[in-house]
Amino acid sequence: MTDEISFGNKLMVAFLRFMVFVLVIILIAIPVCILLDVLGVLDALGMG
């Protein structure tokens, strides 16, 4: 068995890392947006 990783596996790992990064950003953004909404910042910016 060779020790080299195929291009398909590298592509899949890169895609999964990107998806995890996007998921983490979304999970951080949700409570931040809720907090800004509670504090009234979104209304002051015209986004409410």
- Greatest alpha-carbon span in the chain: 62
Sign, CA dihedral 8-13-19-25, equals negative
pLDDT of residue 1: 55
pLDDT of residue 30: 96
Ranges of the chain with pLDDT below 70: 1-2, 48
Task: Please give the span between the terminal C-alpha atoms of the chain, in angstroms, as a whole number.
Answer: 59
pLDDT of residue 3: 76
- Do residues 37 and 48 lie in contact, with contact meaning Cβ atoms separated by under 8 Å? yes
Rounded-to-integer distance, Cα 5 and Cα 34, Å = 43
